[in-house]
């Protein structure tokens, strides 16, 4: 029976991942900001077969709560098989360009807070000498684009951090996975027009769980984003700077 921690458990993608583990009778430790939604999600996961479910409240930007939050989660489960970090916010890029406090808040939510939580979680995993740490970052972290480069900077920072963490923790038998989704139809992107490049959170969740089982270290999700991002990354700056993306 697997023991799973999900930070940002009210996210649409996280919720779908939790359903898959509930079906396998896992023990779930769900952490989220909106505790009333978390209670509803908990009821649903009980019906779907979860063995035990703990819940805890957190706000990513309350940094002084992070160590206790991680300690309590690891204590409750004794051994952690998977830690999934799934929260994030899509900033108003234009506002971030004129208001540094907003830019800093978004960098904290999408970047620094993740690193802060992983600082404590990674040490616990290292001591336990097993387990998986999976973080949902984004293709936006691969190359800064004018439409969302504050968000992209935060996600890129986390991806770079995960590369180093993966190298460090591989010596202790801990697997680190960076999930880089493209466009996913969730509340975060509710206002966007949807097209062929869009994936449903149910599909992304299946990919995440498979990548965890297969011990892959990073994954464009769905996989066709590898091709798109390879092209975007090699477009010469002189052309790139002339287009609006
Ligand atoms: N959707 C996409 O197209 C897409 C693409 C690439 C990457 N991603 C990434 O995928 C992950 C999951 O997002 P999603 O698409 O599933 O969106 P979502 O359903 O809107 O979930 C976002 C989650 O982040 C939480 N959150 C935001 N700010 C927080 C804070 N300060 N403290 C604690 N929790 C906070 C939200 O909590 P509340 O419920 O309390 O608001 C919500 O649970 C995020 O990291 C996102 O950046 C999404």
Among 6, 11, 218, which is best to mutate for testing ligand 1, by the most ligand atoms less than 8 A from CB? Answer: 11
Indicate which atom in ligand 1 lies nearest the CA of residue 8: 43
Within-domain flag for 245: no
Within-domain flag for 108: yes
- pLDDT for res 245: 86
Q: Do you know the residue count of the chain?
A: 245
Ligand 1 in contact with 71 (CB < 6 A)?
no
Provide the residue range defining the domain that includes 166.
3-240
Ligand 1 in contact with 220 (CB < 6 A)?
no
CA–centroid distance, 8 to ligand 1, in Å, is 7
Indicate which atom in ligand 1 lies nearest the CA of residue 201: 16
Within-domain flag for 81: yes
Per-residue pLDDT of the chain (245 residues; tens, 9 = 90+): 999 999 999 999 999 999 999 999 999 999 999 999 999 999 999 999 999 999 999 999 999 999 999 999 999 998 999 999 999 999 999 999 999 999 999 999 999 999 999 999 999 999 999 999 999 999 999 999 999 999 999 999 999 999 999 999 999 999 999 999 999 999 999 999 999 999 999 999 999 999 999 999 999 999 999 999 999 999 999 999 999 88
- pLDDT for res 73: 98
Within-domain flag for 231: yes
CA–centroid distance, 242 to ligand 1, in Å, is 31
Q: What is the DSSP letter of 241?
A: T
Domain harbouring 35, CATH code: 3.40.50.720
Strand order in the sheet with 175-181: 52-57, 27-32, 3-7, 82-85, 132-136, 175-181, 218-221
Residue 51 neighbours by CB distance under 10 Å: 15
CA–centroid distance, 88 to ligand 1, in Å, is 4
Find tokens 């649409």 and name the residue: 12
Within-domain flag for 15: yes
- pLDDT for res 78: 86
Ligand 1 in contact with 154 (CB < 6 A)?
no
Q: What is the DSSP letter of 44?
A: H
CA–centroid distance, 87 to ligand 1, in Å, is 4
- The count of structural domains within the chain is 1
- pLDDT for res 244: 87
Q: CA 180 → CA 94, 153, 221, distances in Å?
A: 24, 14, 6
Nearest CA to ligand 1 atom 21: 11
CA–centroid distance, 239 to ligand 1, in Å, is 32
Indicate which atom in ligand 1 lies nearest the CA of residue 189: 1
């Amino acid at each position: 029976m697997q023991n799973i921690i999900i930070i940002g458990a009210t996210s649409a993608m996280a919720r779908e991942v939790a359903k898959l583990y509930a079906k396998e009778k896992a023990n779930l430790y769900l952490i989220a900001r909106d505790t009333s939604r978390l209670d509803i999600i908990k009821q649903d996961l009980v019906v779907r077969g979860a063995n035990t479910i703990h819940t805890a409240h957190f706000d990513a930007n309350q940094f002084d709560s992070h160590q206790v939050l991680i300690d309590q989660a690891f204590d409750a489960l004794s051994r952690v098989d998977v830690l999934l970090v799934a929260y994030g916010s899509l900033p108003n890029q234009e506002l971030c360009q004129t208001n540094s406090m907003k830019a800093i808040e978004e960098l904290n939510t999408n970047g620094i807070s993740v690193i802060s939580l992983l600082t404590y979680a990674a040490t616990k995993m290292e001591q336990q000498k097993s387990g998986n740490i999976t973080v949902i970052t984004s293709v936006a972290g691969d190359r800064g684009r004018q439409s969302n480069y504050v968000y992209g900077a935060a996600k890129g920072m986390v991806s770079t951090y995960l590369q180093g963490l993966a190298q460090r923790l591989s010596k202790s038998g801990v697997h680190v996975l960076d999930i880089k989704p493209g466009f996913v139809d969730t509340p975060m992107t509710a206002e966007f027009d949807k097209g062929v490049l869009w994936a449903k959170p149910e599909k992304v969740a299946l990919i995440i769980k498979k990548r965890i089982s297969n011990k892959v270290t990073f994954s464009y999700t769905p996989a066709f984003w590898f091709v798109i991002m390879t092209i975007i990354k090699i477009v010469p700056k002189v052309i790139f700077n002339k287009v609006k993306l």
